[in-house]
Amino acid sequence: MAEEVKAGCARPTGGPVGEPAPETTEDIQMEKKEAKSMIQVGKKAPDFSAPGYQKGGFINVKLSDYLGKWVLLCFYPGDFTFV
């Protein structure tokens, strides 16, 4: 039976159910350690390229294309969220 999901500010997500195999858990923990932040003020912003939408068109944006300009890079939990 499906249960109703209470809408909150975090996006509801699913995942595998049950106990993961021990070796898988280890892998995930290793991955998490590697993924720690490399951002430091006064240091270079990591370059990236990403698809996106702007004013009616689909685009591809590369951060380094904005060299020479001030950039505000904002992340948020998800479209259609409430805050």
Residues 6+ apart with CB under 8 A from 39: 45, 46
Three-state SS for 20? coil
Query: What distance, in Å, lies between the first and last C-alpha atoms of the chain?
Result: 31
Of 1 and 44, which CB lies nearer to other proteins in the complex structure? Answer: 44
Q: What is the CA radius of gyration of the chain?
A: 19
Window 43-72: residues binding other proteins (CB under 8 A)? 43-48, 50-55, 58-59, 61, 63-64, 66-72
- Residue 30 binds other proteins, judged by CB under 8 A: no
Please pick, from the candidates 1, 2, 10, 21, the single residue that binds other proteins as defined by CB under 8 A. 10
Of 1 and 6, which CB lies nearer to other proteins in the complex structure? Answer: 6
Of 1 and 42, which CB lies nearer to other proteins in the complex structure? Answer: 42
Backbone angles phi, psi at 29, to 5 degrees: -65, -40
